[in-house]
Structure 1
């Protein structure tokens, strides 16, 4: 099944675009100005049972994009600290995943899949998320690969946290052929704090995705982890595309003035 799926190379322009989509997920969740790029329309927000918005689904002529935000409330933090593992319930023989995050995804799964089933599977499915949202994106991507017509999604995550055991990771790589995990080497949350929680079995949750490293230091744990600063670093790597994307889509790109070394 998986051998017929097209494998795509890392695309820095796509990564930067999806970083901004993650930023927009926070905007939507926080009730701030929410802006999609030209040609995209909002299909639905992704709600939780408590009424929080964890992301959104958007569509263009060629793409469907599923976006998940990271932690923004105390309740989200407590969900991440709910670290025991549970059997991943949506694909058989897929190991175990982080209980708190799996519960969040389970609560939103129905509306996500119902919305996808109304959209054309001829379009390319892009999936992205930041921090806790990167974990939600990972859980969704395996689910979508085997349980929807969109069987070859492209996943880009930012500052992803540990999510599953070795069996889950093995099954994920078997089924999902396009996944990139973008990290900042100075991101303490991703690289040092959360891994301490998962050093030994049975709590050995692992990250997934081919790693792409960024290198930026903002002298702040929060800013080294913030999606806006991930975007800021990516736009320095791809400045021409960044300027065009932001110019062509007023209000889409975030203010990065708090990220050190901004140009």
Structure 2
């Protein structure tokens, strides 16, 4: 269990390397790069992740917030209907808009892959939110049956109905949380909506797995490297 979480944490770090090196990163031993993808927000296209494959499994990894446009997407925390399945609740507008811009690339990258393979979807921070949206979309609209969602530092992504749909469709969900990371508490559970008596309600999907690493700063507690080191420390004590 911990070995898989550590492996995927290292893969999530590579999505940041991909961004900072304009698409270049080292493919993990034993895997091949099937596809890589960009997302667009306010006219700016950025590297956002990749698809890896070996004989047994497929890994789709999304990166988290880096640029100013990423932060803007994070801030647009109001509800919109999940558009890729019926009665699946509402999701965070900013997260969905980023996801929409890379959806076609994602499905194209998976088109030729054996649908009997295990699919692992992962991401950190904003990437965890995108991974959650993608997991439900893939479960609803593709032939893959064995889908896992393993996320790091995920914010809340949608309302309870959306979370119920994810929990129902995805058999194995792990949401790894540093208990000192405030991003995992965002958006607030309840957000008053302007010009409305209604409130936006945000919840988490199931599968919380806690670690505890205190770096005494917002960025330090949230950093993907902190999560990786926290998992390694936990492994050494068990």
**TM-score, length of structure 2 as denominator length:** 0.91
Count the aligned residue pairs.
Answer: 229
The equivalent of 2:27 in structure 1 is 36
The root-mean-square deviation of aligned C-alpha atoms, in Å, is: 1.8
> 2:148 maps to which residue?
154
What's the counterpart of residue 106 of structure 1?
A: 100
- Structure 1 position 239, deviation (Å): 4.2
Are 2:15 and 1:25 equivalent residues in the alignment?
yes
Distance 1:159 1:220 in 2: 15
- CA distance in structure 2 between the partners assigned to 1:101 and 1:42 by the alignment: 25
Deviations 1:97-127 (A, max 9, x none): 0011101111100110111121111211011
TM-superposition CA deviations, 1:127-154 (whole Å, max 9, x none): 1000011000000001111211112211
Q: Deviations over 1:5-56 (max 9, x none)?
A: xxxxxx2111111111110001001117612221111112121133201111
Query: Structure 1 unaligned runs (5+)?
Result: 1-10, 241-263
SS of structure 2 residue aligned to 1:58? strand
Greater than 4 Å deviation, 4+ residue runs: none
| Structure 2 counterpart of 1:73 | 67
For the 8 Å contact 2:154–2:183, the answer to whether it is kept is: no
Q: Deviations over 1:44-100 (max 9, x none)?
A: 212113320111111111111000010000100001111121110011110110011
Whole-Å Cα distance in 1 between the matches of residues 144 and 222 of structure 2?
Answer: 30
Alignment deviations for residues 209-248 of structure 1 (CA, whole Å, 9 cap, x no partner): 31000011011211110011100011122249xxxxxxxx
Paired position in structure 1 for 2:130 = 136
**2:154 and 2:206 mapped to 1: Cα distance?**
9
Deviations 1:146-169 (A, max 9, x none): 211112211100000011011111
3-state SS of 1:167 partner: helix
1:217 aligns with 2:214: yes
Give, in whole Å, the separation in 2 of the partners of 1:48 and 1:221.
26
Matched residues in 2 for 1:93 and 1:102: separation?
Answer: 16
**8 Å CA contact retained: 2:62, 2:122:** yes
Query: Map of 1:41-56 to 2, 5 A cutoff?
Result: 41-49=32-40, 50-56=44-50
Which consecutive residues of structure 2, in runs of 5 or more, have no partner in the other structure? Answer: 193-197
Separation in 2 of the partners of 1:39 and 1:239? 25
**Contact preservation (8 Å) 1:117, 1:148:** no
SS of corresponding position for 1:55 = strand
C-alpha separation in 2, matches of 1:70 and 1:76 = 8
